[in-house]
Every structure is written in structure tokens, then in C-alpha cells.
Structure 1
Amino acid sequence: MIRYTLTRLVLLLVGLVVASVLIFLALRVLPGDIATLIAGTSSTPAQIAAIRQQLGLDQPLFTQFADWIGGVVRGDLGTSLRTGSTVASELAEKAQVTVPLGIMALTIALVFSIPLGVLSAMRRGRPEGTGLSVGAQALAAVPVVWAGMMLVVVFAVWLGWLPAQGFPRAGWADPWAAFRALILPAVTIGIVEGAMLFRFVRSATLQAVGEDYVRTAAAKGLTRDQALVRHGLPNVGLSIISVLGLQIAGIIVGAVIIEQLFSLPGIGRMLVADVAARDLPKVQGELLALTAFVLVIGFFVDLAHRIIDPRQREAS
């Protein structure tokens, strides 16, 4: 287990290095001169040159990358050109919205998809199983923006139960208001991601039904459903753990869109605004932080799968 952990840790570090190189190069190949775009059309050549020097754009690419990655290693993700604040401090502030939103959305997706996916598989060929499968297919095809707009129309406009947009100025100092502001965005992401996870859970459950150990348990006197619940579902749970990393990545992508739709002051909305403003140091830090978060989640998912599944430990 120690060797496996060290191997995965090395792969994590390699992934971070590759991601940092790709992020750095991708932002350098954007059309137009970044210094000119930041300075504006009415700027003088001297002002443009000063901005290029401030950003280090007059240095070779390798020197620029080395300076940036050296700051990252020291915990310095850069400083925003627009606000003058450090990227790390602004990420920490916006994470107070995005992280709870992601946790709520993931919880909704799991609560919605796991029991219904298992039920649909256990009732395969029956009306309720077919209805659940068709409903999940329909939800998975719904654009997340359209789903959010429909929820706003129903629960904010017609019923008036929840706020349509915004986040309380006091933040989590007013926990109930903050929680209510995140309900509709979390449900929007949760039902769409949950519909996709539903199909995976259903498929994994159907596969477990056909396994020899489930048939053997049924031959010893258990019903098919009892054999599946006692012996098949633990293996379904291992399969779910394997795809959690992808689900979390999907939730992060969904949060970028949903924060725009619901006017939430989170990381996704900040990233879109910074890309539009060509705030290069801040965009670099934000993209690297998000990539690192996804890779770290994948690292812990792999470790959890290794610890829980005895077959992998025995194989090693």
C-alpha cells in the first residue's frame, strides 16, 4: 500500500507539472498582444512597454514559466492586475460560495442517482424500471442552463419560495439566507449530474445481477433482490467511488455556468470575468488551483478504492 501511494503521489506531481505547462502555454498563444489589450487602445508605447515589463512578458518564455512556477511552489499564485489582491486570497474568498455549492450538488446527485439507479435495475422490464430509465435519459439530455431557468420560473417566480439570483452580502454570517441562495443552483447541477450517474449505477447494478456470486447466493435460498442487496451492492459502491472524480470535475464545470446564471460570487464567475479582462496572472493561478483540486480528488479516490477493495490489495 505504501508503494502504491508513493506511485500515485508521483503521478499526481507529474500531472500538476504537465497541467502547469499547458496552462502557461495556452494563455501565451491567445490572439493579440496581452499588454496592449490590458493597456487599452489609447495607451502609449511607453505604457505598453511598462506593462510588459511588469508582467515579465519581455523575458523568454522559459524564464517567465520558471518565475511563475517558483512562486507557486512558495505558495504565491500571483497578484491580480485588476484588484491588486493576491490570487490565493481571492480564491479563498470565492471558495466560500463554490465549495458549499459543489458539496450540495454532489450530495443531491448521489441521493438521487444511487437508490433510483439500483431500483431501476432491480425492476428491469417492469413499468417502474422503464419509467425511471426513460426519465433519467431525458434529464441527462437537458442543458444545465435550461434546467436552471425552469427551476427559477417555478420556485422563484411562480411560487416565490426561493431567491432567483444573488448571494447575501453578509455571506455565511447569515447562514439561512446563504443556504437558501444555493438551493436552486445546487439542485440544477445535482439533477443533471445525478441523471448521468444514474445510468452508471443502473449499468453497474445490472452487471452485478449477472455475477456468479449473486446467482450462488440466490441458489442458497435468497431471493434475487436479497442476493443483490447483500452481495452485489458493495461492488456497485466500489464502481461509484471510481467515477466520483469525474463527477466532481463535471460539477466544477457546471458551477462555472450556474454561477453566471444565478449571479453567485464564486470561483467560476470570477474566472469568466478575469478571462474577459485578460487578467493573466490571476487566470493562471485560478486554472492551476482548479486543476490541482481535481487531481487531488482523483488521488484520494484511487486510494479509497484501493483500501476498500480487497481484490486490489491481494493482486498487489
Structure 2
Amino acid sequence: MDVYADNPSVSQEALDQMKVALGLDQPLPVQYTKWVTAFVSGEWGYSIRTARPVTTEIAERLWPTVLLGGSSFLLALLVAVPLGILSAVRRYSSVDYGITFMSFLGISMPVFWLALMLQLLFSVHWRILPSAGMQTIGDGSLPDLLRHLLMPALILAFASVAGWSRYMRSSMVEVLSQDYVRTAKAKGLTERKVVYRHALRNALIPVITVVALDFAGILAGAVITETIFAWPGIGRLFIESMNGRDYPVLMALMMLGSFALVVSNVLADLAYAAADPRIRYD
């Protein structure tokens, strides 16, 4: 309502009629009950900026975010876990120090700065990758999509790899010092079998928690990355709605973010049981 209240051309009588039409003249508990009921039933209202249904606005942006987030998540997972294992197995070596240095560099490096540097290098100087968007107008082919996806996916993956590899190393170092690991080595098993068959599953338990929480954030929308690369996803929709004071869309996005967090925690619990058979949910 404050969007219209700030407009001098809207009379007080029109504001009062609008309050009645929107149900804002009713007590807060009644308003909240109606809002929850409507949200659960999929009636999320209309966007103030575009006058389109909120569900339509979000549905159009959901696939780009899932594509970007899923790609960066898989890439980060495939890189962070082996790096963490290698750093733990070769701890206090030059390899460990190199991985540690790169990890701390990635953790401390601002994402927006790295994104701008990649755009400057690959899009401005070398002109081999597009700087923004999801596809070239009039193209829409798979290679064109992958070229647009590469830089934002690398940015998101780099930020995740830096943190996940440190958690993986810390957890693996702790597991490798356990008695059963030393027993496995004493039996003559190769280092590869000891690490991947006996130590890895137990070392994954703490890492799963961190990965699950980050996964929820990725699904909720990478706000900075999507804005810099003009990626038409949930994160960019959030910024546009915030700048346009589009409260129905903002509320829906916040609820979806909460839902993604709950889903990621459920998936983490299932992953615990898969990683460690001793964990059971009765």
C-alpha cells in the first residue's frame, strides 16, 4: 500500500477502497491466516511491477537458476572432494600448502571482483566468451548456452570449492588418525583402498552438512553472480523485485528459500545414511 500512498495522485478514498479489497482492514491474525491459506494453495498474488501472477514470474526464472546452480554444484563437488582428500593424504607437503593457499585465496576473494575480472579477460580482451545473458538472440543452440553458462558456473563453483576442500581436508585428517585406519594399513592394504574404501565415508559426514546448506543457497538464487552476468534467474528476480518494491514476489521468494533450506536438510539426512550405514532413521 505504501507504493500508492506515496503517490499524490491517489486519493485517500481510493486507498481506503483498496484496503477493503485487499483485506487489509481486517485484524492481523485474520490477514495472516488468509495469506498462509492462499500461499499453500498456490495463490501467490500478482507482481506489482508487471501485473503478472507471481507463480508465472518465478516459474520463468526457476529453470535458469536450477541450471546454473546445478552445474556449479556438481563442478564444485567433483573438484573440492578430491582436492580435500589429496591435501589430507599429502598433509604438510608442498601439495598441501599449495591447495591450502589457493583455498584461502578463494575464500577471501570477493565473488563480484573475480566475476568482473573474468568478464574483462574472456569477454573484453580475448572475446571468446559472452559477458552476460543466457543465450544469444536468434541462436538458442546448446553450444551457445554452454558458452554463456561457463563463466557464472565457474564463479559459483570456485567460491564453493575453496570452502568445501578445507572442510574435506580437516575431516579426512581426523579420520586418517583413527585406529581402524592404522589397522587397515597394517594389514597391507594400498593407500588408495584405505582412503576410498575405509576413510572416505566417515570423512564425508561433516562435509555433507556444509554442502547441503550451500546447496540451499544456490537453489535460492546466486544474487550477485546472476546480477553481474545478467543471468535471468531467481537471484536477479530478487534484486529486480527489491528495487521495484515488489512485495508479493519478494515474499514468495523468501518462502521458496526457506523451503529449499528444509529440503536440503532432509537430503542431508538421507545422505548421512547413505554415507554411513550405521546411521538409521527408525
Question: Partner residue of 1:13?
Answer: none
Q: Given residue 118 of structure 2, which amino acid in structure 1 is its aligned partner?
A: L
RMSD, aligned α-carbons: 2.3
Aligned counterparts, 1:54-133, within 5 A: 54-133=21-100
- Matching residue within 118, 125, 134 for 1:158: 125
1:218 counterpart SS class:
helix
Deviation at 1:170, TM superposition (A): 6.4
1:231 equivalent in alignment to 2:198: yes
Instruction: Specify the alignment match of 1:138 in structure 2.
Output: 105
2:138 & 2:32 partners in 1: Cα distance? 36
Q: 2:279 is matched with which residue?
A: 312
Q: Paired residue for 1:11?
A: none
Question: What's the CA shift string for 1:162-201, capped at 9, x where partnerless?
Answer: 1111223769953332232121111111101110111001
Residues 61, 170 of structure 1: CA spacing in aligned structure 2 closer, same or farther, 3 A cutoff? farther
Q: CA deviation at 1:38?
A: 3.8
> Within 1, Cα distance between the matches of 2:20 and 2:144?
45
Matched, 1:187 2:187: no
How much has 1:86 moved relative to structure 2?
1.7
1:241 to 208, 228, 231: 208
Matching residue of 2:166: 199
Q: Structure 1 residue aligned with 2:261, among 294, 299, 304?
A: 294
User: SS in structure 2 opposite 1:310?
Assistant: coil
Q: CA deviation at 1:276?
A: 2.3
The Cα of 1:225 is off from its aligned counterpart by: 5.1
CA separation of 1:114/1:172 partners in 2, compared to 1, >3 Å: closer, same or farther?
Answer: farther
1:253, distance to aligned residue in structure 2 (A): 6.4
Of 266, 275, 279, 2:242 maps to 275
Q: Distance in 2 between matches of 1:170 and 1:161?
A: 17
Answer whether contact 1:155 1:161 (CA < 8 A) is retained. Answer: yes
Give me the whole-angstrom Cα distance separating, in 2, the residues matched to 1:69 and 1:137. 43
Q: 1:128 to 1:116 in 2, by over 3 A?
A: same
Deviates more, 1:41-50 or 1:260-269: 41-50
Note if contact 1:171-1:178 (Cα within 8 Å) is conserved in structure 2. no
User: 1:265 & 1:150 partners in 2: Cα distance?
Assistant: 21
Q: Partner letter of residue 45 of structure 2? A: G
The answer as to whether partners of 1:96 and 1:266 remain within 8 angstroms in 2 is yes
**Helix, strand or coil: the match of 1:311?**
coil
Q: Structure 1 residue 224: deviation in Å? A: 4.6
Q: CA deviation at 1:307?
A: 4.3
Distance in 1, matches of 2:201 and 2:176, equals: 12
- Displacement, 1:252? 4.5
Identify if the C-alpha distance between structure 1 residues 171 and 115 changes in structure 2 by more than 3 Å, giving closer, same or farther. farther
1:52·1:58 contact (CA, 8 Å) conserved in 2?
A: yes
**1:36 and 2:2 equivalent?**
yes
Instruction: Give the aligned residue type for 2:107.
Output: A
Hey, what's the Cα distance between the residues in 1 that align with 2:130 and 2:216? Answer: 26
Name the TM-score, length of structure 2 as normaliser.
0.91
Give the letter for the 1:70 counterpart.
T
d(CA) in 2 for partners of 1:172, 1:212:
59
Q: Tell me how far 1:283 sits from its aligned partner.
A: 1.5
* C-alpha deviation, 1:223, in angstroms: 4.7
Residue type of the partner of 1:36? Answer: D
Contact 2:204 2:275 in 1 (8 A): no
Q: 2:138, 2:58 → 1: CA distance?
A: 15
SS of the residue corresponding to residue 76 of structure 1 reads coil
Deviates more, 1:239-248 or 1:278-287: 239-248
**Which residue is equivalent to 1:30?**
none
8 Å Cα contact 1:110-1:194 kept in structure 2 = yes
* Aligned match for 2:222, one of 250, 255, 264: 255
| Code of the aligned partner of 2:3 | L
**Contact map agreement 1:38 1:278 (CA 8 A) in 2:** no
Percent of paired sites with the same residue: 35
> What residue identity is the alignment partner of 2:170?
S
1:213-228 equivalences under 5 Å are 213-224=180-191, 226-228=193-195
Q: Given that residues 139 and 195 in structure 1 are in contact (C-alpha distance below 8 angstroms), is that contact kept between their aligned partners in structure 2?
A: yes
Q: 1:38 to 1:117 in 2, by over 3 A?
A: farther
CA shift in 2, pair 1:173/1:164, >3 Å: closer
Using the alignment, how far apart are the partners of 2:267 and 2:219 within structure 1?
17
Structure 1 runs (4+) deviating above 6 angstroms are 169-172
Unaligned runs of 5+ in 2: none
